[in-house]
Copies of this chain bind each other. A is one copy, B any other.
Amino acid sequence: MAQGTNSISPSVRIGICAPSTPFTRDAARRVMALAARTHPQAELVFAEQCFSEQGHFAGSDTQRTDSFVSLANDPDIDAIWFARGGYGAARIAEAAVQRLNDVAHRKIYLGYSDAGNLLGALYRAGIGQVAHGPMPSDIGRTGGEEAVVRSLDWIVHRLADALEPGLVSGQKYAAFNLMTLAMMTGTKLIPDLHDHILIIEEISEYLYAFDRAMFHLCSNLAGQGLAGIRLGGVDDIPENDRPFGESAEAIVQRWAGENAIAYLGRAEIGHHAQNRIVPFGLLPI
């Protein structure tokens, strides 16, 4: 892990950990090289834990928790960037957030997909500026450099162009992967979404599973005072033995309608290079 620097120009130190699945050193090098070119004032600090492997995970639950907590509690780190999703953050989020100190409250936390478990737990606890957006792992995607640069633009410059274009000031937002959020309902990870516009996206789920998750989510959010729901990308839908018979957007409109939740149209988030930033809560700019 990089140590504290004494450079003269103001730098932004971004701590990167992997709360879910392992990252690769090669991808980390590519992200570092890209950032050095586009954001020389950013210093990327990849925790060694990113490259650990234990079964499915980037190290044991304890290793992943410790890695996140030590970066978040480090006064020399300005922002936490989750390396990639996969699955695993749900196993550590509650305990990890309980160990955060005052320093952790002043940081940006950025990621999406399975990292939504930590975004939710942090936002629920009122810690930091939580945002849904591209991760270092997006470097491996077609057009992924653009996605990585967008997150750096947000972390380093708070560039408004990095934001989901439909966001308006004075409105609260939250954004999640649908299945991740569906599995957070009723747990200690889900934040209060009263008055929020919720933006969801999905990847690699059959439309019947998407429909089932929407049944679950909308049933659980009914009567919670949501300001509305918007739909990002629904990508890489597997072929089923027969067509589902309804589009992803029609599914969202139907379940939202049945649960008296306003459907407010599409959004530019998702498991793709166009994934734009959605800061949680009121827009910070």
By secondary structure, the A interface counts as loop
Q: Which of A58-114 contact B (CB under 8 A)?
A: 86-88, 90-91
Given A87-B212, A208-B87 in contact, is the A219-B56 Cβ separation under 8 Å?
Answer: no
Given A87-B212, A91-B215, A212-B90 in contact, is the A243-B186 Cβ separation under 8 Å?
Answer: no
A216 / chain B contacts, CB cutoff of 8 Å: 182-187
Given A87-B212, A90-B212, A215-B90 in contact, is the A54-B185 Cβ separation under 8 Å?
Answer: no
Q: Which of A196-239 contact B (CB under 8 A)?
A: 207-209, 211-213, 215-216, 219-220
CB distance B219 to A187 under 8 Å? yes
How big is the A interface, by class? 20 to 34
CB distance B220 to A187 under 8 Å? yes
CB distance B55 to A213 under 8 Å? no
Query: What is the bound-complex CA distance between A184 and B182, given in angstroms?
Result: 11
CB distance B182 to A183 under 8 Å? yes
A250 CB → nearest B CB, Å: 11
Chain B: CB-nearest residue to A221? B186
A102 CB → nearest B CB, Å: 28
* 9 residue pairs, one from A and one from B, having the closest CB atoms: A55-B245, A187-B219, A186-B220, A87-B208, A183-B216, A56-B244, A186-B186, A90-B215, A183-B212
